[in-house]
Amino acid sequence: MKIALMMENSQAGKNATILNELTSVVEPLGHTVANVGMSDENDHHLTYIHLGIQASILLNSKAVDFVIAGCGTGQGAMMSLNLHPGVACGYCLDPSDAFLFNQINNGNALALAFAKGFGWAAELNARYIFEKAFTGPRGEGYPVERKEPQVRNAGILNEVKAAVCKETYLDTLRAIDTELVKTAVTGERFQQCFFDNCQDDEIKVFIKEILA
């Protein structure tokens, strides 16, 4: 699994801590991590709005399989990611949130709070969140006897979102302010992750046009 970590300006100073906890959990499992957001306060400036655009591009192009995002409360990042087609982002404050999202909702992104409640042993909480998010089978339901309706409802939710987003993904991307998209895709690490792994030629051409 290819996992993207993206952090915005208000919490960029915690990137090294979160990146360390994420890689220490997922790399032994055979997953890879691309640190595509801000790495410190002096990095290419991003807000949680840009994170939603980044996540949608990476997931819809199949450049990555999963996204870890966040902001001060996690709420803005979750809302921003869930605006976009092809993104199903959960809100995660503790390891049980990650486990239940994994088993019941089986989405492709998590938004964490990197300021609210981020105190003593916060790095341990992040590590345990990642353990629950990336170990074991997905979509098994909780409790297990609820698997069938939970899997069905998760599928229905995706169908409803696809119905609401009637345009193609590229149409929705083109409808966003060009400067917002350009800021989202200008970072060097984002571009490396995207261009090295993108599996959709139309999205790749569009991003190249934005950057030209």
CA dihedral (184, 189, 192, 195) in degrees, to 10, reads -20
Helix axes 178-185, 188-197, angle to 10 degrees: 90
Taking the C-alpha atoms of residue 83 and residue 85, their distance in angstroms, rounded to an integer, is 7
| CATH code of the domain covering residue 27 | 3.40.1400.10
Q: Which backbone phi and psi does 81 adopt, to 5 degrees?
A: -65, -40
Q: What is the pLDDT of residue 143?
A: 92
pLDDT grade for 6, boundaries at 50, 70 and 90: very high
pLDDT grade for 136, boundaries at 50, 70 and 90: confident
Tokens 């996992």, residue located:
3
Domain that holds residue 181: 2-211
- DSSP H/E element including 68: strand 66-71
| Total count of domains within the chain | 1
Do residues 5 and 68 lie in contact, with contact meaning Cβ atoms separated by under 8 Å? yes
181-201 average pLDDT score: 97
**55-71: per-residue pLDDT in tens?**
999 999 999 999 999 99
Query: Would you say the pTM of this structure is higher than 0.85?
Result: yes
Q: What is the pLDDT of residue 165?
A: 81
